[in-house]
Structure 1
Amino acid sequence: MDSQINSTIGSLKQMPYSLEAEQAVLGAILTNPELIEQVPQLRADDFYLDQHKVIFEAMFDLASTSRPIDPVLILEALEKSKHYEGPDAVKYLKMLIDSSAYAGNVTEYSDIIRDKAVLRRLIDASRATSDEAYSGADDVDAILDRAEQRLHDISNEKYNTNFVHIKQAIRENYDIWGVLRNNPDAFSGTKTGYSDLDNYIVGMNPGDLIIVGARPGMGKTTFCMNLAVNVAKSYKEGTEPPDVAVFSLEMPPQQLASRMLAGEALVDHHKLRTGDMTDDEWKKLAQAASVLAKTNILIDETSNITVMNMRSKLRKLKNLKLVIIDYLQLMHTEKHSDNRVLEIGEITRGLKLMAKDLGVPLVLCSQLRREQSAAGGRSGKSLPQLHDLRDSGSIEQDADVVLFLHRDSYGQYGDKPEGGEDGAQEVATTAVMGENEIEIAKCIVAKNRHGSTGTVKLAWLAKNYRFVSVENRGE
């Protein structure tokens, strides 16, 4: 009942619109048909009065098919709509022509029409949210997410310029190229912190969906947390540190922070867990904690989080530089589907669109299919390939970059080393860095929309939960 009363009260108020602006624009186009090219953002449903919608739609259809915007043809469309017939239709068109605006003001009148249309859409969105809130049929978070999405869609619609002229795109590229030409060390994208990898993918570009796939124990979570730290630390003194958002669907923030500290301090993570540290190690840990505390690494551990939930949270971050999700197979859509392949496809497409809308790179951890050896057992020896991505080919399709992590020394597939999935206690090594055992890992660039594919070697510091560039392994 309250919902009905609320809706009734709202309907008694006059919806915002400008009769004069609508008539002036239509009249001007009838008088000078070329003016329709000056209002490319205007749509038929931006007009409030139905007869004006019909007239503008007829104008648009004629212009889009290279036919003249002729009053006789407009009259035919108006009569078919039943809004005006016979003499009344002729009279109304004549009135529009008589009230036509000065050609130079058509764009301004068009802006008035669009602004009024936005106000009406805001009212409709508010009513829809109000009805959902009154009904109580859904949970509060879902209602909030949909309300925010409605507002976001309206805002995007208002400021979307549709076509970008190639001249503008070239100009923007030249600005970037000029910076790169004068600064060879610069990248158009965000640096990963691994120079050889950056040379392949030219950094992580805004809007990129970057898949990091690996079999259990290869270190995909560690690699992604290393990326988070590298990007979070990449700001100049006196500037605001970038926001790096981490959605951890598997590990709590405390556990991730512990791993990041071990990697930053180069202290054996096992010692952090037992407290058995020397004074020097304790000092290193304190220094690392001071460094990481100054960054803006933000960790969200919401379980069963959806793409819409993520988008809602990320929009509130004003200096967002990177998004990391660990990991894909733990995500679900709002309405769980029995077809997991289709559900994963919907998720990856949603994440790609989210990255594009937010204008930031998004790194997504993904599991690989279990590999069968020739004897029917499981083996982790062979290099992963694109078809190993688990659950859906859409992962490969939606991704701009696909990276696979692999370590040849990592025993049988699924045989996790003591210390957890990321292999903190892996003992097979190729060298020793101080007190830290290391081995050479492969970061395979299996797909690269921006360039070539290949393999990058990284040094894997198992006890420290850290990957470093091979040339930096002596640091």
Structure 2
Amino acid sequence: MKLSAPVYHLKRQARLLSRQSKAPLHEALDRIAAREGFASWSLLASKAAETAPAGGLFARLAPGDLVLVGARLGHGKTLMSLELVVEAMKSGNRGVFFTLEYTQRDVLDRFRAIGVEPARFNHLFDFDNSDAISADYIVKTLRAAPRGTLAVIDYLQLLDQKRENPDLMAQVRTLKAFARDRGLILVFISQIDRSYDPAKKPCPDIGDVRLPNPLDLSLFNKTCFLNEGEIRFQAAR
């Protein structure tokens, strides 16, 4: 399947079309899909999911991993993280999405954007957007989670936004030890610093992660960076 642009770009075009034409977003999505040769957006998204790189990436993850997924705003880091959740659930594991940014409806809409009907995984998926999200909260929430559970933290830079929370370094160390002990996979969505220049480097890397507070990025043993449809995956040696 060859699309005229990556799925996240097509979604952006649909949102713009929806605003301009004052049509519901689902109608705009279907119009974009028709332009690409599909009868509906759901068919386009489902076909795209079959060739999505998340399956190959998930196959390279293991219990105990701390994974960093980084990209500029609008370049697919949330969709990639949700695709990893879906891959975990397809294999029979639980998926959890912790967020300080999105509502449950936002996340369910993004599942549909990647061709997944959320009801299919109701028994395996948990959504949590508590204002209390921090390392201690995540540890408490996942204490009884079975080995192989994949949890997404959206996003890294917000973990220590409250003064009463431990500093970011301490929280990531806590979560690293917890993931290793419990056999969980923790995926952290990360912002990229504004100094990153795609004209000089086609894809960001670990040096481009936005760090308002000190953090040893070697705590993450696997990274995935995205830009303009390009994906760079790296595992620590």
Q: What letter matches 2:210 in structure 1?
A: R
Contact 2:69 2:225 in 1 (8 A): yes
Identity of paired residues, percent? 27
Distance 1:323 1:336 in 2: 23
Q: CA RMSD for the aligned pairs?
A: 2.5
Alignment of 1:440-451 (within 5 A): 441-445=229-233, 447-450=234-237
Summarize the alignment of residues 345-424 of structure 1 with structure 2, pairs less than 5 Å apart: 345-371=169-195, 379-381=197-199, 382=201, 383-391=203-211, 394-407=215-228
Instruction: Answer yes or no: is the 8 Å Cα contact 2:94–2:125 preserved in 1.
Output: yes
Deviation digits for residues 38-88 of structure 1 (CA, Å, limit 9, x no counterpart): xxxxxxxxxxxxxxxxxxxxxxxxxxxxxxxxxxxxxxxxxxxxxxxxxxx
CA distance in 2 between counterparts of 1:324 and 1:209 reads: 10
User: Which residue of the other structure, out of 246, 252, 258, is the alignment partner of 2:103?
Assistant: 252
Q: Would you say 1:303 and 2:127 are equivalent positions?
A: no
Alignment of 1:32-431 (within 5 A): 193-195=54-56, 197=57, 203-235=60-92, 242-264=93-115, 288-293=117-122, 295-318=123-146, 321-332=149-160, 335-336=163-164, 343-371=167-195, 379-381=197-199, 382=201, 383-391=203-211, 394-407=215-228
> Any idea what the Cα deviations from partners look like across 1:177-216, whole Å, max 9, x if unmatched?
xxxxxxxxxxxxxxx8432x36xxx521111110001111
Superposition TM-score, scaled by structure 1 size: 0.35
Distance 2:118 2:141 in 1: 26
The unaligned stretches of length 5 or more in structure 2 are 1-52
| Kept after mapping to 1: 8 A contact 2:147/2:184 | no
Q: Alignment partner of 1:384: what SS?
A: coil
Higher radius of gyration, 1 or 2? 1
Do the aligned residues in 1 keep the contact of 2:69 with 2:188 (CA within 8 Å)?
Answer: yes
Higher-RCO chain (CA-CA 8 Å, sequence separation at least 6) = 2
Distance, in Å, in 1 between the alignment partners of 2:103 and 2:163 is 25
8 Å CA contact 2:63–2:147 kept in 1: the answer is no
Checking the alignment, whether the CA contact within 8 Å between 1:371 and 1:380 is kept in structure 2 is no
In structure 1, the residue matched to 2:18 is none
Distance 2:185 2:146 in 1: 15
Q: Which has the higher helix share?
A: 1
Structure 1 letter corresponding to 2:80 = F
For this pair of structures, how many residues does the alignment match? 182
Deviation of 1:336 after TM superposition, in Å, equals 3.8
Unaligned runs of 5+ in 1: 1-191, 236-241, 266-287, 373-378, 408-440, 451-475
Cα-to-partner distance string for 1:92-134 (whole Å, 9 max, x where unaligned):
xxxxxxxxxxxxxxxxxxxxxxxxxxxxxxxxxxxxxxxxxxx
Measure the CA separation in 1 of the matches of 2:185 and 2:217: 16
